[in-house]
């Protein structure tokens, strides 16, 4: 008999989970203004809010922390991190930052000015925020296939080369760079193919533009290239990663995802002028150039994490757990962005809560119902997160309205996946009784989903 697949690690330290009653959760929801970001984590049973900074570090990472060099300048931890990044990506210049948005802030302070246009594939909300707060515009050039959640396509994160070329041809003088997010979080953790990365680079070069990869989940992307793209099955994850970065000029990184650490980020580039320009903003915003908001020990843990995650065993364990959960949802007929991506399931709330009008935010409503059902916390990646149009101030209903259920790295077991699936099935079975959603009672201008206050819409 063939042995089944199992995790490539065993567990050395555990943390207790707490359950709650439906009545308690009802009260906590009210106190949280129906915004799940306002819940105390003690009030959450299984937390699928994000895969960012929520993973478990390995024994090797914890051991590396003991080697941290806390010197203000010239820390040997920085050089260990820099050498790892250079070895994996080929990028010679590295600036550490406290997390991904810090990297965006530092690099974009140098590159983005008012009136600029930054084309890319479904910019993540902080990326879009850092562009729009500079009075510049983020233009989404993702392939149209990504909008149909039921369509099977191996690389739904891809940039549409024709859309990109059109933006470049019409606005070349306003475009500081092209950004490609690997994997494409907003479109459902969907990967970008090597062929597409190559095509984007060629188009950008034609217009003399550089390409930046938003790299939060670059290892997951490499795994999908290995398993889905012709010609890569026999390559190692590290070889694939190296090739991916030959099609980029720079990267911003949230190390809280594929860096396998709880906090951290960096910018890396092959261009001295990018480095020199960004450096000016690192010191006032993040810290001196050899720590950029991180402890020495954090940089050591990150160096090991990057190395560890770019090994097949680790990344395969991670993706297979997400696929395990997806297979359960298939069994129950629950619609999600297909095929399942790398870090999360994105349930298509519009298709589940068909009685809830979009003005009442179906994905947020579904997130609330799932919490109410079983204390499982997901996250709306939909109409609330999309913010208002900066010009018309209207809600943006043009995209998808998804409930994202993120899977933390090396944290939960497949038994927890079974609980998530069962809870979602219970909500799904009573979907037709859910007729109303929520309304916004208070919001901020940008990135409103973090702090928005909501109230249930009554009959």
Active-site annotation holds for 125: yes
Site for ligand F0G contains 126 (CB under 6 A): yes
Site for ligand F0G contains 75 (CB under 6 A): no
Element (H, E) at 456: strand 453-456
The helix/strand/coil state of 127 is helix
DSSP tag of 250: E
- The edge-to-edge listing of strands for the beta sheet with 402-406 is 344-348, 402-406, 379-381
Taking the least distance from each CB to ligand F0G, the nearer of 356 and 376 is 376
Element (H, E) at 226: helix 218-228
Active-site annotation holds for 257: yes
Alpha-helical runs (H) found in 44-189: 59-65, 76-89, 100-111, 125-132, 161-171
CA distance 455 to 451: 13
Site for ligand F0G contains 58 (CB under 6 A): no
Stretch that binds ligand F0G, among 94-102, 164-172, 298-306, 345-353 (CB under 6 A): 94-102
Site for ligand F0G contains 100 (CB under 6 A): yes
Site for ligand F0G contains 265 (CB under 6 A): yes
Site for ligand F0G contains 99 (CB under 6 A): yes
Site for ligand F0G contains 181 (CB under 6 A): yes
Q: Give which of 211, 237, 262 is closest to 107, Cα–Cα.
A: 211
β pairing state of 376-377 and 46-47 = parallel
CA distance 439 to 325: 31
Token pair listed for 346: 């994105």
Site for ligand F0G contains 97 (CB under 6 A): no
* Catalytic, out of 5, 72, 397, 450: 72
Taking the least distance from each CB to ligand F0G, the nearer of 216 and 374 is 216
CA–chain centroid gap for 383, Å, is 17
Site for ligand F0G contains 101 (CB under 6 A): yes
Token pair listed for 336: 């999600």
* Catalytic, out of 130, 201, 209, 257: 257
Stretch that binds ligand F0G, among 10-18, 36-44, 96-104, 161-169 (CB under 6 A): 96-104
Closest separation in Å from C-beta 258 to ligand F0G: 10
CA distance 101 to 265: 8
CA distance 316 to 322: 10
Active-site annotation holds for 268: no
Active-site annotation holds for 214: yes
Token pair listed for 425: 């099935």
CB atoms near residue 36 (< 10 Å): 23
Active-site annotation holds for 79: no
Site for ligand F0G contains 254 (CB under 6 A): yes
Residue nearest to ligand F0G (CB): 100
Site for ligand F0G contains 196 (CB under 6 A): no
| Residue matched to tokens 């922390």 | 65
In 122-191, where do the E strands start and end?
A: 137-140, 178-181
Q: 232, 195 in Cβ contact below 8 A? A: no
Element (H, E) at 345: strand 344-348
* Catalytic, out of 64, 187, 216, 278: 216
CA distance 66 to 59: 11
Taking the least distance from each CB to ligand F0G, the nearer of 192 and 366 is 192
Active-site annotation holds for 56: no
Site for ligand F0G contains 314 (CB under 6 A): no
Site for ligand F0G contains 449 (CB under 6 A): no
Residues between 213 and 252 with contacts to ligand F0G, criterion CB under 6 A: 214, 216
Taking the least distance from each CB to ligand F0G, the nearer of 100 and 119 is 100
Residues between 199 and 218 with contacts to ligand F0G, criterion CB under 6 A: 214, 216
Token pair listed for 285: 């915003």
Active-site annotation holds for 449: yes
Site for ligand F0G contains 50 (CB under 6 A): yes
Q: Say how many residues touch ligand F0G, by CB under 6 A.
A: 15
* Catalytic, out of 45, 93, 124, 281: 124
Closest separation in Å from C-beta 197 to ligand F0G: 15
* Catalytic, out of 51, 125, 258, 387: 125
Active site residues: 72, 124-125, 214, 216, 257, 449
Q: Which residues bind ligand F0G (CB under 6 A)?
A: 50, 52, 99-101, 124, 126-127, 181, 185, 214, 216, 254, 256, 265
């Amino acid at each position: 008999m063939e042995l089944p697949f199992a995790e490539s690690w065993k567990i050395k330290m555990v943390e207790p989970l707490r359950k709650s009653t439906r009545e308690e959760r009802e009260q906590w929801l009210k106190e949280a203004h129906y915004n799940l970001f306002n819940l105390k984590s003690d009030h959450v049973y299984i937390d699928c809010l994000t895969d960012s900074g929520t993973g478990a570090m390995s024994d090797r990472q914890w051991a590396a922390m003991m080697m941290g060099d806390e010197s203000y300048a010239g820390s040997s931890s920085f050089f260990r991190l820099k050498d790892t990044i250079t070895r994996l990506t080929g990028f010679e210049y590295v600036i550490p930052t406290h997390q991904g948005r810090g990297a965006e802030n530092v690099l974009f302070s140098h590159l983005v000015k008012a009136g600029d246009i930054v084309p890319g594939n479904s910019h993540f909300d902080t990326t879009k925020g850092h562009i729009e707060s500079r009075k510049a515009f983020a233009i989404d050039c993702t392939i149209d296939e990504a909008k149909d959640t039921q369509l099977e396509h191996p690389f739904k994160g891809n940039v549409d080369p024709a859309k990109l070329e059109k933006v470049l041809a019409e606005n070349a003088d306003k475009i500081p760079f092209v950004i490609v997010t690997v994997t494409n979080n907003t479109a459902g953790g969907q990967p970008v193919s090597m062929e597409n990365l190559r095509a984007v680079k060629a188009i950008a070069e034609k217009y003399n533009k550089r390409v930046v990869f938003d790299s939060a989940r670059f290892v997951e992307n490499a795994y999908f290239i290995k398993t889905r793209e012709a010609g890569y099955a026999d390559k190692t994850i590290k070889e694939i990663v190296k090739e991916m970065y030959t099609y980029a000029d720079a990267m911003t990184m949230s190390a809280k995802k594929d860096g396998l650490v709880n906090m951290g980020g960096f910018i890396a580039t092959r261009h001295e002028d990018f480095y020199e320009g960004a450096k000016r903003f690192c010191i006032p915003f993040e810290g001196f150039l050899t720590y950029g908001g991180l402890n020495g020990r954090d940089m050591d843990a990150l160096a090991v994490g990057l190395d560890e995650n770019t090994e097949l065993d680790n990344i395969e364990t991670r993706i297979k757990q997400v696929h395990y959960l997806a297979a359960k949802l298939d069994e129950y007929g629950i619609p999600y962005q297909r095929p399942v991506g790398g870090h999360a399931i994105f349930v298509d709330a519009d298709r589940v809560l068909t009685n809830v009008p979009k003005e009442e935010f179906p994905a947020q409503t579904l997130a609330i119902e799932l919490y109410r059902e079983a204390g499982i916390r997901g996250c709306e990646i939909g109409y609330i997160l999309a913010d208002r149009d900066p010009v018309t101030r209207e809600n943006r209903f043009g995209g998808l309205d998804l409930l994202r259920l993120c899977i933390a790295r090396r944290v939960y077991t497949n038994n927890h996946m079974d609980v998530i699936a069962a809870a979602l099935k219970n909500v799904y079975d009573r979907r037709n009784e859910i007729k109303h959603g929520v309304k916004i009672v208070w919001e901020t201008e940008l990135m409103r989903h973090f702090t928005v206050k909501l109230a249930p819409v009554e009959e």
